[in-house]
């Protein structure tokens, strides 16, 4: 998959996992981010729908080295063991490939991310529109390059839209890391590993509502409100990119 034009070479250069930058340099004022972005500049985002043919809807997202594929199945009949429910059910599952991280992983399910994805999406989906049925959202992180969960959430909402599931709005998600005095938006793996605090927001930009937010580590109140504003602005921009991606796909289908 091609990256957006204008970015530097996208050839994959493996980073030595043993090489660790000392956190002290992050506090320097003239310090630059490893991928030479500005502090408040997101990685170029690339989205494409319809990545999996057998699914009702699917999407692929690429933010720098973070590559995610999400497929949506359903609405289909809930399992027999489930009790009757007059609203639909949402089932989310996030898993990593064995080659997603520097150290070969187990490729196991990530339960915490699965439940976070569920919480971020359930507020946006009109569950009343498909009673007695279940929508399954399966996210697979092909490559982990930082800010995995926000990318998964955004990509999943695009896949849901592709599947034609009724939603109030697209859900977009962005995270901000706090390193010393600096706030870095859309952190990469190296930045995440030495952050002091982080904020992740998932929101519905058109409705201006937050569906999920988490704070890890210490953040002072003014820092927090600044970080929130940064995230919300970035979410709004991200939504435009996602919307244009959906429009492109729709117009391509018409032709």
Partner 1 sequence: MVGLSEGEKEFIKGGIAQDLRSDGRKRYTYRPIYVETGVIPQANGSARVRLGATDVIASVKAELGKPSALQPDKGKVALFIDCSPTAEPTFEGRGGEELSAELSSALQRCLLGSKSGAGAGIDLSSLIVVEGKVCWDLYIDGLVISSDGNLLDALGAAIKAALSNTGIPTVHVVAGASNDEQPEVDISDEEFLHFDTSGVPVIVTLTKVGKHYIVDATSEEESQMSSAVSISINRQGHICGMTKRGGSGIDPSVILDMISVANFVSRQLIEKLDSEISAAEANEEDS
Residues that bind partner 1 (CB under 8 A): 23, 111-112, 115, 119, 122-124, 192-198, 203-204, 207-221, 224-225, 228, 232
CB nearer to partner 1: pick between 99 and 208: 208
CB of 102 to partner 1, least distance (A): 13
CB nearer to partner 1: pick between 55 and 231: 231
CB nearer to partner 1: pick between 112 and 248: 112
CB nearer to partner 1: pick between 201 and 245: 201
CB of 4 to partner 1, least distance (A): 29
CB of 7 to partner 1, least distance (A): 28
CB of 131 to partner 1, least distance (A): 16
CB of 193 to partner 1, least distance (A): 6
Q: How far apart are CA 122 and CA 165, in angstroms?
A: 12
CB nearer to partner 1: pick between 210 and 241: 210
CB nearer to partner 1: pick between 164 and 217: 217
Q: How far apart are CA 161 and CA 50, in angstroms?
A: 11
Long-range (24+ apart) CB contacts under 8 A made by 91-95 are: 91/118, 91/134, 91/135, 91/136, 91/137, 92/117, 92/118, 92/121, 92/137, 92/139, 92/156, 93/136, 93/137, 93/138, 93/139, 94/139, 94/140, 94/141, 94/149, 94/152, 95/138, 95/139, 95/140, 95/141
CB nearer to partner 1: pick between 10 and 93: 93
CB of 132 to partner 1, least distance (A): 19
Q: How far apart are CA 109 and CA 93, in angstroms?
A: 7
> What does the block give as tokens for 157?
């909402």
Residues whose CB is less than 8 angstroms from the CB of residue 40 and which lie 6 or more positions away in sequence, other chains included: 183, 185, 230
Other CB atoms within 10 Å distance of the CB of residue 91: 15
Residues whose CB is less than 8 angstroms from the CB of residue 89 and which lie 6 or more positions away in sequence, other chains included: 78, 82, 127, 133, 134, 135
CB of 225 to partner 1, least distance (A): 6
- The SS3 assignment for 106 reads coil
């Amino acid at each position: 998959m091609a990256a957006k034009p204008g970015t530097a070479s996208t050839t994959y250069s493996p980073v030595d996992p043993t090489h660790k930058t000392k956190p002290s340099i992050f506090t320097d004022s003239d310090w630059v981010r490893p991928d030479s972005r500005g502090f408040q500049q997101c990685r170029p985002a690339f989205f494409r729908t319809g990545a999996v043919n057998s699914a009702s809807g699917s999407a692929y997202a690429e933010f720098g080295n973070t590559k995610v594929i999400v497929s949506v199945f359903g609405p289909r009949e809930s399992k027999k063991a489930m009790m009757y429910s007059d609203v639909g059910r949402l089932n989310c599952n996030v898993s990593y490939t064995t080659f997603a991280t520097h150290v070969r992983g187990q490729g196991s399910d990530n339960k915490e991310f699965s439940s976070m994805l569920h919480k971020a999406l359930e507020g946006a989906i009109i569950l009343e529109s498909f009673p007695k049925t279940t929508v399954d959202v399966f996210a697979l992180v092909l490559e982990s390059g930082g800010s995995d969960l926000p990318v998964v959430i955004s990509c999943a909402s695009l896949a849901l839209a592709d599947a034609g599931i009724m939603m109030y709005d697209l859900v977009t998600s962005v995270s901000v890391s706090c390193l010393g005095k600096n706030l870095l938006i859309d952190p990469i793996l190296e930045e995440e590993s030495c952050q002091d605090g982080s904020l992740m927001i998932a929101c519905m930009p058109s409705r201006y509502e937050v569906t999920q937010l988490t704070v890890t580590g210490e953040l002072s109140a003014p820092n927090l409100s600044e970080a929130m504003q940064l995230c919300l602005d970035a979410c709004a921009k991200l939504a435009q990119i996602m919307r244009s991606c959906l429009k492109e796909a729709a117009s391509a289908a018409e032709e």
